[in-house]
Structure formats: C-alpha cells, structure tokens
Amino acid sequence: MLSRRSVLAGLLSTLPRVAQAQSVTDATGRVLAIPANVTRVFPAGPPAAIMLYTLAPDLLIGWPRANRLEEREYLLPDIGSRPEIGRITGRGNTANLEMLLALKPDLILDIGSTSRTYVTLAERVQEQTGIPYALLDGRFEATAASYRKLGELTRHEMQGKEFASYTTRTLDTIMQRIANVAPDKRPRVYFARGPRGLETGLGGSINVETIELLARNVAGERKGGLATVSIEQVLVWNPDVIITIDRDFASNVKGDPAWKGGTAVQEGRVHLAPKLPFGWIDFPPSVNRLIGLWWLAKILYPERFPEDIRAIARDFYARFYHVTPTDAQMDAVLEGRG
C-alpha cells in the first residue's frame, strides 16, 4: 500500500519539473503538465513499452516483462536488457506504486483502451503520485494519431510524424490492394491462441484487429475480447485459414484427430505468426502489428502482394526496432521461433 511518506516524496520529486511544464492533451482530452525535458517514462503496459521503445528508446525506464535472450537479439542491447518493472494495466498488473515513485519517471504512459475505466485509473494514479499519466488510443487504426501524440508528449515531434506517415502509407497501400474484394468474398479466418488453439478473439477484439481488417473473423459474430471456444464450434465454422501464435499448436494440429476434419488443416493453411521480438498479429497488440499486416496480407492474398516479406521486415526492424537482422535472424523470425 502507498504510504503518505512515499506519496509526499513523489509529489516533491516532481515539483521542479512541473514548474517548467508544458501543457499537452492526451487522447482522452485530459490536459497534462509535461516537464520540458522528459528523460524517464514509465510504461503502464506492454503496448506502451513497445511504442515508446520504437519512438524514443532512451526514455524507457524498463519493461513490464523482462525480455528473453532470444527477444533481445532484435532490440538495442542496452535498452532491450533493461529491468522488469511490472505493469499498471492489463492482465496481471504487478507494478507497485511505491516502486513507481522510486523510479522517478517524468511521465507515465498507457496505450490501450481510452474507456472511462482507464481514465479513472489514470486520474487516480496521477493524483496519488503527482506524476503526469498520459493515455493514448491503442486501437490499430489509431496508430498514426498515437505516434503524433507520443511525439508531443516526449518532445520527439519529428520522429512521431515520420512514424505516423509510415503507418498511414502502410495501411493505405494494403487496403487499396484489396479494396475491390467484396467483404463476403474475403477469406474466413480463425485466430487460434493457446496450446490447444481454442482461445480466440471475438468480433471487435483488439487481438484480431488486423485479421478483421483483411478478412472475415469466423468468431466475429459475437462481440467481445478473448474467449474460449470448443473444437466442435471451430469445425462448424470450418475456416479457410487458421492463424496461430502458439508454436505447439502449429506443430501438433496436423496430427490431431480432433482437427483433421477442418478444411484449413487438410489444405495446409495453418500459419504460425512470427513473434520475435514481439508478435506480428498479437501478444502484445501494439505497433508490431504493422509488419504483421504485411505478412497476413501476403498469406491471404498472395497474388496481390508479391513483395519479398524479408525486405519489408528488415526495413521495418531497422526503422522501428533500431536493429537490422541478419539473414539467419530473419529466418528465425519467419519460422515463428521464440
């Protein structure tokens, strides 16, 4: 529990910077007093950590979850190895507010839902700590706007605009190429999570945003977040394509009698999404999905996307992750290792 002494320490530690603050409005319309020189940012959850790393890696205090060795290969060495500091939002929130105060961030950043629940959380943490708490929209379609806003918050406006432009170009290019494919003619896709492949994203879930941009989510009729379904239900849906982020499921599904009746399994259309250093489709749902959109488009519409995914991915990694993978590293990524 947060003590009065620690709250007071947090408030006092922020006073000199607040005195030089500039006003910035976050995605919820809250006006924040941001220090003129932001040098330390606490990410409230994984999507915020990833987006901040891409834009201004030096500002990242630490990670909600420590990166594994195989993940660090695709990140700046001194940044990718920064410590685990827990999380304030999302499943398994672990951050302790006393720890947060001890880290002395200039800004707390959350990227995800902008619903009243998260606004209330942001206001409460800001009131308790005296540290400005910015909330940005984590929906995939809001990525460009969020990059511009993050640029304002961190005084990296030019980089924010550059990433926003890249995001817009990517979306425009991909969506224009499939614009004449009628919605009812697009592939029917099942998103399989977990070793049994029976956790999936319902309609409108942030976990299936890129799938629903390009295809029909077979679980989309029911709206919500993640849900567990039965194998019988999946067979009734009989998707054309299965996209999974679980390597065990991808390895075992072809030999599993329960799944052999499905068209996607019979025709070899079960695809394991890359996930180094972060998942291309989900887990976590952040800007890593930009390169995943290219990968997914090539799988669903190979004749419309003849480009070499390796070249596109290598360029993305250089721009956003600040590293250029070797051929061997790129092989590992595309094989879904990690």
Q: Calculate the average pLDDT of the chain.
A: 93
Q: How far is CA 100 from CA 20, 38, 67, 310, in A?
A: 22, 16, 19, 39
Reading the block at residue 90, the tokens are 């999302």
The residue among 31, 43, 32, 38 whose CA lies nearest residue 17 is 38
Task: Give pLDDT, residue 337.
Answer: 83
Measured CA to CA in angstroms, residue 140 lies from 27, 153, 208 at distances of 14, 20, 10
pLDDT at 12: 46
Domains in the chain (CATH in brackets) are 22-176 (3.40.50.1980), 182-335 (3.40.50.1980)
Residue 81: predicted pLDDT: 98
CB–CB of 288/279 below 8 Å?
A: yes
Question: What is the predicted pLDDT for the residue at 159?
Answer: 98
Given this model, what pLDDT does residue 97 score? Answer: 84
Write the CB contacts of 310 (distance below 8 Å, at least 6 apart in sequence).
Answer: 330, 334
Q: Please list the ranges in the chain whose pLDDT falls under 50.
A: 1-16, 19
Can you tell me the distance from the alpha carbon of 279 to that of 159, in angstroms, rounded to the nearest whole number? 23
As a whole number of angstroms, the distance between CA 285 and CA 195 comes to: 19
Backbone angles phi and psi of 133, in degrees to 5: -125, 105
Q: How far apart are CA 317 and CA 124, in angstroms?
A: 36
* pLDDT for residue 89: 79
Residue 306: predicted pLDDT: 97
pLDDT score at 62: 97
**How far is residue 216's CA from residue 254's CA, in Å, rounded to a whole number?**
23
Q: Name which of 187, 181, 149, 206 is nearest 29 in CA terms.
A: 149
pLDDT the model gives residue 93: 67
CA separation for the pair 25, 149 (Å, rounded): 8
pLDDT of residue 7: 46
What is the pLDDT, as a whole number, of residue 88? 87
pLDDT score, position 9: 47
For the record, the structure tokens of 214 come out as 């390009």
CA-to-CA distance for 158 and 179, rounded, in angstroms? 31
Q: How far apart are the first and last CA of the chain?
A: 36
Q: Greatest CA separation found in the chain?
A: 66
